[in-house]
Amino acid sequence: MRSVDARHFNRILDFDPSGIVTVEAGISLGDLYRFSVPRGWILSVMPGSPSITVGGCIAANIHGKNQFKDGNFRAVVDELRLFHPDHGELSCSDRAEQDLFNLTVGGFGLTGFITSARLKLQRLTGSAFRLRRLRVDSLEEAAVLMKGLADEVQVLYSWHDLNGHGFGRGFVYAGNQVDSPVNDSLQYEELVSETRGKWKLPLFNKLTTRLSLAAYALSQRWSSREQIVGLPQAMFPPVGKEFYFKLFGRRGLREYQVLTPNDCWPEAVKSLKALISKHRIPITLASLKIFRGRSHMLNFDGDGVCLTLDAPESDATRRFFADLDLWTESASGIVNIAKDSRLEAAFVRRVFPEYERFRTELAAFDPKHRFDSALRRRLNV
Amino acid sequence: MSERGKTAVVVGASSGLGRALATALAERGWRLVLSARDARDLEAVAADLSSRWEAQCYPLTVELANPNFDADRFCRDCERMLDATDVVFYVAGAVDDRDDGSGDDEMVRRLVEVNYVNAVRTLAAFAKVFDDRKRGVLVGFSSIAAAAPRGQNMVYASAKAGLEAYLKALRHHLADTPVLVQGYALGYLDTAMTYGRKLMLRPVSVEAVTSEVIRNLNKDRGIKYYPRYWSLITRILRLLPWFIYKRLQF
């Protein structure tokens, strides 16, 4: 069994001036950003970190800044080439070998080595983003507000404090590209386990969390409701804020990301509030996004409200997350498999209607499990 | 850039140091012949450089482990593609885990061929052209292993030592001409060769080596260690008495 580090497999094979770029799967989004932006193009679906590779985006079928409008990464993949020793090199897309395409996108790398992908870029209409900030008093209010804005904006997410009184109070951020003299270049520090865990002690506990979130809320209220932010900052919000991750110390953090159907959301919020006050875990980040789509295979996709929670890693947090699993199930939600290394096969099978289908199709394509991973074994796919 | 229009041949251009050199030169507007063993890999590098920098790159596939490698023909092909070559970088190298005595004759042959024989033949072919033209730079790459050959990579170390001797001799031969001969004896580099290995000193990035090489292309420096501290370390290693040297494990 071997691991392949594909980071040098990062060449740009072709760029068509109509905005189609063909890249090897090891290229990072930051690298692709630096190539495409000066030429007036950008990937419309990108997660927050520039270190993630195109192959990784495909494997997790990641979502971007406004999933409601732009969909998951699949929407920008025109075609991909895959290598598997038993099948050779195959091309797949929506037009040809669609079953393999659906198995590979969001397939966690289990169908083979993605050699290259042809991606559809979006024309850049501005050099910066105008970000609007709207105050909300609850998670329910945020969801309703965001649904109303989703079709008009390019960036849409919310931030909430779930830690004390005023549960759910926060802000909705909505942004659009604008022409501006602000023209920042992308500079980032890659977070690796060695550097991230340098501070031995975690600094986030119940008290410090409440204080820092309160301070953040205050700083937001003092700043103007509309801000011009640079393109790198809008596209990769965690860049420049790497200290956030370092504050969790060696143990790090755990993140729970769940997609709940719209009609179940208000009820789900009520039971979430009860769950959080029962467990008393510091929630260092709570964020909502609005999703639209259809759930298929093990993809994190569908119609509903996406909630993201961060908490310091600890046994208590794991117990809390276990209860969140039950909460997810009762709200008919699905979880983001790429985010949670704690998920178990039985739970994933109950929550994803196409679990068995994924398992069967993967076994038919790669019966010897030539491409294996800890995730595959843990989830028993 | 005043460098636009300069030409170079990079032998061993598809990965590691060769790719970094090719990338840096392409960024500066040089026209390049890129040479490596795998055509598809090479085409991907050429495509990458032309996409990113609109560089003019000519991929030329060669098998340096092949005893029938025709250095003169390779030289003529490069000269034809570039009109005239300004700089030749022989970056190609080969290592083998079995170079500790467990390898076979084929392995020995291949290591000698790629690291020494065809390196010398390539540089010799271009040296003649450069000598006639009274212009050009020849750059070869050696290793700290050459100064301190050990049982872990015997053929590699000796081949590199041979290449170093040739570079020095060639420089001597061309001393009264404007043609420059340069060599870099490199310590651990952060490439596929050292990936995953535990090394005594931190590997240096290929970008750092590339900057050093490009910065010094016009200087008559001869063979230098990079990073510099290896110069001192290898000097000490060379002076060690046998009863200490034989116990070295690094």
Model pLDDT for residues B153-166, shown as the tens digit of each residue? 999 999 999 999 99
Distance in angstroms (rounded) separating the CA atoms of residues B246 and B244: 5
- A80 vs chain B: nearest CA distance in angstroms? 16
Statement: residue A202 has pLDDT above 80: no
Report chain A residues whose CB lies below 8 A from the CB of B44.
11, 13, 24
- Nearest CB neighbour to B45, from listed A5, A11, A15: A11
Statement: residue A213 has pLDDT above 80: yes
Report chain B residues whose CB lies below 8 A from the CB of A12.
47-48, 51-52
If you measure CA to CA, which chain A residue comes closest to B19?
A8
Residues in chain B: 250
Model pLDDT for residues A111-139, shown as the tens digit of each residue? 999 999 999 999 999 989 999 999 999 99
**Residues of chain B numbered 110-169 and touching chain A (CB < 8 Å):** none
If you measure CA to CA, which chain B residue comes closest to A12?
B48
Cα–Cα distances in Å, from A157 out to A106, A139, A146, A286, A309?
23, 12, 8, 10, 13
| Binary contact (B48, A5; C-beta < 8 A) | no
pLDDT of residue B250: 66
pLDDT of residue A338: 94
pLDDT tens for chain B, residues 1 to 250: 457 789 999 999 988 899 999 999 999 999 999 999 999 999 999 999 999 999 999 999 999 999 899 999 999 999 999 999 999 999 999 999 999 999 999 999 999 999 999 999 999 999 999 999 999 999 999 999 999 898 989 999 999 999 999 999 999 999 999 999 999 999 888 887 777 777 777 888 999 999 999 999 999 999 999 999 999 999 999 999 999 999 887 6
* Interface with chain B: mutation pick from A7, A8, A11, highest number of B CBs within 10 Å: A11
| Binary contact (A13, B47; C-beta < 8 A) | yes
- Angle of helix B39-53 relative to helix B16-27, nearest 10 degrees? 30
| Binary contact (A5, B195; C-beta < 8 A) | yes
Q: For residue B81, what is the enclosing H or E element?
A: helix B71-82
pLDDT of residue A128: 92
Report chain A residues whose CB lies below 8 A from the CB of B15.
8
pLDDT of residue B2: 58
- Angle of helix B154-173 relative to helix B118-133, nearest 10 degrees? 10
If you measure CA to CA, which chain B residue comes closest to A27?
B48
| Binary contact (B52, A12; C-beta < 8 A) | yes
* Interface with chain A: mutation pick from B19, B40, B52, B189, highest number of A CBs within 10 Å: B52
If you measure CA to CA, which chain A residue comes closest to B23?
A11
pLDDT average, residue stretch A71-100: 97
From the list B161, B168, B126, B165, the residue with the least C-alpha distance to B143 is B161
| Binary contact (A14, B52; C-beta < 8 A) | no
Model pLDDT for residues A175-199, shown as the tens digit of each residue? 999 988 878 888 887 777 777 777 7
Say if B15 is an interface residue toward chain A (CB within 8 Å): yes
Q: Say if CB A307 and CB A286 are below 8 A apart.
A: yes
Report chain A residues whose CB lies below 8 A from the CB of B192.
8
Distance in angstroms (rounded) separating the CA atoms of residues A257 and A305: 10
| Binary contact (B47, A11; C-beta < 8 A) | yes
Distance in angstroms (rounded) separating the CA atoms of residues B60 and B58: 6
Mean pLDDT rounded to a whole number for chain A: 92
Residue B212 neighbours by CB distance under 10 Å: 16
Position B208: which residue type? A
Say if B39 is an interface residue toward chain A (CB within 8 Å): no
pLDDT of residue B73: 97
Q: Say if CB A220 and CB A18 are below 8 A apart.
A: no
If you measure CA to CA, which chain A residue comes closest to B53?
A35
- A12 vs chain B: nearest CA distance in angstroms? 5
Band (A140; pLDDT cuts 50, 70, 90): very high
In terms of phi and psi (left: phi > 0; alpha: psi -120 to 50; beta: otherwise), the region of A280 is left
Q: Which two tokens stand for residue A343?
A: 């998920």
Q: Which two tokens stand for residue B21?
A: 């050199």
Say if A2 is an interface residue toward chain B (CB within 8 Å): no
Sheet containing A88-92: give its strands across.
Answer: A12-16, A20-24, A113-120, A77-84, A88-92
If you measure CA to CA, which chain B residue comes closest to A6?
B192
Distance in angstroms (rounded) separating the CA atoms of residues A268 and A257: 14
Statement: residue A1 has pLDDT above 80: no
If you measure CA to CA, which chain A residue comes closest to B47?
A13
| Binary contact (A8, B15; C-beta < 8 A) | yes
**Residues of chain A numbered 27-86 and touching chain B (CB < 8 Å):** 35
Q: Say if CB A132 and CB A174 are below 8 A apart.
A: yes
Three-state SS annotation for B130-170: HHHHCCCEEEEEEEHHHCCCCHHHHHHHHHHHHHHHHHHHH
Report chain B residues whose CB lies below 8 A from the CB of A35.
51-52
Model pLDDT for residues A292-333, shown as the tens digit of each residue? 999 899 999 999 999 999 999 999 999 999 999 999 999 999
Residue B192 neighbours by CB distance under 10 Å: 12
From the list A65, A61, A15, B56, the residue with the least C-alpha distance to A32 is A15
Statement: residue A245 has pLDDT above 60: yes
* Interface with chain A: mutation pick from B49, B51, B52, B205, highest number of A CBs within 10 Å: B51
From the list A59, A27, A62, A28, the residue with the least C-alpha distance to A45 is A62
Q: For residue A176, what is the enclosing H or E element?
A: strand A169-178
If you measure CA to CA, which chain A residue comes closest to B17?
A8
Q: Say if CB A280 and CB A311 are below 8 A apart.
A: no
Report chain A residues whose CB lies below 8 A from the CB of B51.
12-15, 35
pLDDT of residue B1: 46
pTM: 0.92
Distance in angstroms (rounded) separating the CA atoms of residues A263 and A269: 11
User: A-B interface: how many C-beta pairs under 8 angstroms?
Assistant: 22
Say if A244 is an interface residue toward chain B (CB within 8 Å): no
- Whether cis (ω within 30° of 0) applies to the bond prior to B227 is yes
Write out the E strands in B12-78.
31-36, 57-61
- Nearest CB neighbour to B44, from listed A5, A24, A35: A24
If you measure CA to CA, which chain B residue comes closest to A39?
B52
Model pLDDT for residues A322-362, shown as the tens digit of each residue? 999 999 999 999 999 999 999 999 999 999 999 999 999 99
Say if A310 is an interface residue toward chain B (CB within 8 Å): no
Residue with tokens 């904006």: A153
- A32 vs chain B: nearest CA distance in angstroms? 10
Report chain B residues whose CB lies below 8 A from the CB of A14.
47, 51
Residue bearing the bigger pLDDT, A218 or A356: A356
